[in-house]
């Protein structure tokens, strides 16, 4: 595709979503529309065009984001102690409706988290998971000992009733490593889990989803030591999670989480949360702040 054709096609894709997309998500939308071939050279060409298009203002640069590079920001600071005090007063007064959340999963029969191979897709998934009070854990490939044992088992899971089963909804590429990552995660949770019930459920990608959505394939890397077993089961093609249309991916996430929820208990907890927020608002109205 030429420069202007690409710009027009990308803008049309961006208009379909209320949230920013990554370069790879845009690429797969174009591949799905048969606008470009599924080749590395096409991906690199798209990247160059979109850099130039954003520099020229032809594409809104706020609609495309790079979720693979995080910044560790330093505190911005305050101009004076008085400014800090006033900021804390405003924060305190706004707290009841804005920050109070009941423990909705405390009343459920299970506890759920979403684990995902790629940090780049975490924002799309978080938009669905956050309102349902579910943590999204991007592992960036194979999960480290620290990420599983200290951050999850020894930290988040220790706050949960030890008798309550934990369900990990797992999202990975459908390739030799991605398939084995789910198996590895289950093995390590069994090893590190302190005897509690932790079940890893692979939600995506599955071969059925690949066929259902006719996802564009990539060649399986023969150099991958896990490719032999994979090729025996699935052949010489593999698929990326990014290839699923973002809206469809969000639907898969929502369905998986809601499938673990007891709706009656959930609605009761939501009703209680609303009542408690209103009680806090009334109580905060009577609070006088002096410094």
Task: Calculate the CA 207 to chain-centre distance.
Answer: 21
Tokens of 160: 């949960």
Exposure on the CB side of residue 166, measured as CA atoms within 13 A: 25
Q: Is the bond into 203 cis (omega within 30 degrees of 0)?
A: no
Is the pLDDT at 290 greater than 80? The verdict is no
Question: What confidence tier does 173 reach under pLDDT thresholds 50, 70, 90?
Answer: very high
3-state secondary structure of 57: coil
Distance spanning both ends of the chain, measured CA to CA:
64
Pairing state of beta strands 111-116 and 166-171? parallel
Structure tokens at 210: 């690949």
> Phi and psi at residue 176, in whole multiples of 5°?
-55, -45
Task: Return the residue matching tokens 């109070």.
Answer: 100
Q: Which pLDDT score, from 0 to 100, does residue 27 have? A: 94
pTM score = 0.87
Q: Residue 132's pLDDT band (boundaries 50, 70, 90)?
A: very high
> Side by side, which strands form the sheet with 198-204?
135-138, 111-116, 166-171, 198-204
Residues in the chain: 291
Q: What is the mean pLDDT of residues 151-160?
A: 92
| Domain range 109-261, CATH class | alpha beta
Host H or E run for residue 114 = strand 111-116
pLDDT tens string 188-240: 999 999 999 999 999 999 999 999 999 999 999 888 888 889 999 999 999 99
pLDDT (tens digit, 9 = 90+) per residue, 30-85?
A: 999 889 999 999 999 999 999 999 999 999 999 998 876 666 778 888 999 999 99
Q: What is the pLDDT of residue 8?
A: 93
pLDDT the model gives residue 69? 67
Residue-wise pLDDT for 109-130, tens only, equals 999 999 999 888 988 999 999 9
Q: Please list the alpha-helical segments (H only) found in the chain.
A: 3-14, 23-32, 40-55, 81-99, 122-129, 145, 176-192, 207-212, 227-234, 246-258, 263-285
Q: pLDDT value at position 73?
A: 78
Asked if the model's pLDDT at residue 287 lies above 90, the reply is: no
Bridge partners (DSSP) of residue 64 are 21
> pLDDT at position 70, please?
64
pLDDT in tens, 94-107: 787 778 899 999 99
Extents of the domains making up the chain: 3-63, 109-261
Inform me whether the pLDDT recorded for 285 exceeds 90.
Answer: no
pLDDT of res. 89: 86
Q: Average of pLDDT values for 151-156?
A: 92
Per-residue pLDDT tens over the stretch 238-266: 999 999 999 999 999 999 999 999 999 99
């Amino acid at each position: 595709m030429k420069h202007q054709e690409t710009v027009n096609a990308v803008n049309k894709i961006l208009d379909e979503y209320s949230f920013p997309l990554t370069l790879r998500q845009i690429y797969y939308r174009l591949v799905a529309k048969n606008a470009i071939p599924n080749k590395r050279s096409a991906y690199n060409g798209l990247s160059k065009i979109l850099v130039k298009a954003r520099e020229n203002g032809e594409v809104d640069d706020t609609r495309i984001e790079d979720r693979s590079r995080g910044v560790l920001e330093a505190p911005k600071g305050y101009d004076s102690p008085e400014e800090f005090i006033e900021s804390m007063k405003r924060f305190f007064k706004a707290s009841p409706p804005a920050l109070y959340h009941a423990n909705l999963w405390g009343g459920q029969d299970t506890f759920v988290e979403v684990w995902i191979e790629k940090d780049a897709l975490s924002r799309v998934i978080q938009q669905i998971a956050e309102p349902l009070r579910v943590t999204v854990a991007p592992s960036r490939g194979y999960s480290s000992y620290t990420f599983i044992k200290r951050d999850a088992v020894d930290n988040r899971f220790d706050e949960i009733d030890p008798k309550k089963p934990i369900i990990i909804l797992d999202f990975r590429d459908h390739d030799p490593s991605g398939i084995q990552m789910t198996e590895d995660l289950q093995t390590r949770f069994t090893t590190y889990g302190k005897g509690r019930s932790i079940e890893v459920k692979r939600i995506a990608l599955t071969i059925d989803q690949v066929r259902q959505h006719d996802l564009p394939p990539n060649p399986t890397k023969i150099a991958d030591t896990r490719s032999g077993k994979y090729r025996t089961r699935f052949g010489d093609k593999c698929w990326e999670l990014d290839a699923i249309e973002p809206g469809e991916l969000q639907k898969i996430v929502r369905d998986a989480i809601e499938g673990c929820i007891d709706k009656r208990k959930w609605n009761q907890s939501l009703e209680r949360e609303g009542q408690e927020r209103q009680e806090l608002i009334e109580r905060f109205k009577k609070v006088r702040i002096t410094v």
